[in-house]
Copies of this chain bind each other. A is one copy, B any other.
Amino acid sequence: MNTFGKSFRCTTFGESHGPALGVVIDGCPPGLSLSENDIQPALDRRRPGRDPLTSPRAEPDRVEILSGVFEGRTTGTPIALIIRNREARSSDYDELRDVYRPGHADYTYQMKYGIRDHRGGGRSSGRETAARVAAGAVAARILSEAGITVEGTIEEIHGVSDPTGREEEIRRAMAEGDSVGGIIRITARGGPPGLGDPVFGKLDARIAGALMSIGGVKGVEIGDGFAAARMKGSEHNDQMDSTGFLSNHAGGILGGISSGADIVVRVGVKPTSSIRKPQKTLTRDGEETVVRIGGRHDPCIVPRVLPVAEAMLCLVLADALIEQQKYRLFQG
């Protein structure tokens, strides 16, 4: 299942060290102005190597639009975007060919498929998210036309919320050959009420599924999230007066449908799985071994998850916005 969305449908493809990554977007409304320049900045933002704390790999991700755009406007036909993999030091991974790296998908892919592209994690690599970010940029264009903005922020790294302290946590982990996780909050502003469907297609259900589909995300909250479990109804309910909602504990969604208030989501990200510290594991033949993962790895993936999480929220909202048009049939 490499397709996401119902009416704005994105199908991604590509492995970390294959020829290219990409996405086909089916269902983008026609008439939207779009060029590579609308997409490239989002990819640049996701790109590693921008600061000393992220992986120094140079990944000059260049997006190319292959279809669906004519004279600067979308035509309603599928928009295919590809990003060629340039630097692909596959040999870095030769020694990991037959070893299951702890915390990675090596073991489970082998169990599922009986074959796997071990180079850089193959399809399970974080690199796959470049395609999501590209698609998210198209979704953001749609949202922008509708007056909706999506913006995320890092709340904490390894339990520390102060920005200086956060950097310190990452530096320390790097020095130790270890890694740290963190928490991200994303907010969508300006959306109309009415997005999302009842029951299984609830907007919060789609958001939770979308964000949990990002590698490394282990928890998702809407509005007050788990804190709501420790509140009383009289504290948690968002009362209304003629100015609108008096609070936003619900995070902008009631009964699975957007209320028009800000949509607020938090995600918990685990520490990077690739660490230099020695770890016990198995080889593909079932023999015990100890692995130390060398190479270039971010000691903290939270900064790189941030644009992906924003992209996924954009995808959910653009999809819901298009879906919602269907109700205009008898409502004018």
Asked if A194 contacts B103 (CB within 8 A), the reply is no
Q: Which residues of B contact A228 (CB under 8 A)?
A: 181, 218-219, 268-271
A60 at the binding interface (Cβ < 8 Å): no
Closest to A15 in B: B67
Q: Contact partner of A3 among B105, B200, B287, B326, CB < 8 A?
A: B200
In whole angstroms, what is the CA distance A241 to B287 when docked?
8
Asked if A229 contacts B13 (CB within 8 A), the reply is no
User: What string of 1s and 0s marks CB contacts (under 8 Å) between A245-276 and chain B?
Assistant: 01000110111111110000000111111110
Asked if B326 contacts A322 (CB within 8 A), the reply is yes
Identify 16 new A-B residue pairs, CB closer than 8 A, beyond the known A21-B67, A32-B330, A241-B288: A2-B199, A3-B26, A13-B67, A29-B326, A76-B113, A77-B198, A108-B254, A111-B257, A215-B255, A219-B219, A219-B220, A219-B225, A221-B268, A237-B275, A239-B279, A322-B329
In whole angstroms, what is the CA distance A39 to B258 when docked?
34
Q: Which of A197, A233, A330 has the most CB of B within 10 A?
A: A233
Question: A111 and B260 in contact (CB under 8 A), knowing A66-B19, A220-B208, A268-B221?
Answer: yes
In whole angstroms, what is the CA distance A15 to B80 when docked?
11
A45 at the binding interface (Cβ < 8 Å): no
Q: Which residues of B contact A3 (CB under 8 A)?
A: 3, 9, 11, 26, 200
Q: Which residues of B contact A281 (CB under 8 A)?
A: 239-240
Asked if B76 contacts A112 (CB within 8 A), the reply is yes
Closest CB-CB distance, A80 to chain B, in whole Å? 4
Q: Which residues of B contact A204 (CB under 8 A)?
A: 212-213, 218
Q: Which residues of B contact A150 (CB under 8 A)?
A: none
A82 at the binding interface (Cβ < 8 Å): yes
Copies of this protein, total: 4
Asked if A219 contacts B221 (CB within 8 A), the reply is yes
Asked if A29 contacts B330 (CB within 8 A), the reply is yes
Closest CB-CB distance, A272 to chain B, in whole Å? 6
A62 at the binding interface (Cβ < 8 Å): no
Asked if A288 contacts B242 (CB within 8 A), the reply is yes
Asked if A80 contacts B22 (CB within 8 A), the reply is yes
Asked if B193 contacts A256 (CB within 8 A), the reply is no
In whole angstroms, what is the CA distance A196 to B7 when docked?
14
Question: A19 and B65 in contact (CB under 8 A), knowing A29-B326, A78-B12, A200-B213?
Answer: yes
A136 at the binding interface (Cβ < 8 Å): no
Closest to A251 in B: B218
A69-104 contacts to B, CB under 8 A, are: 70, 73, 75-80, 82, 100, 102-104
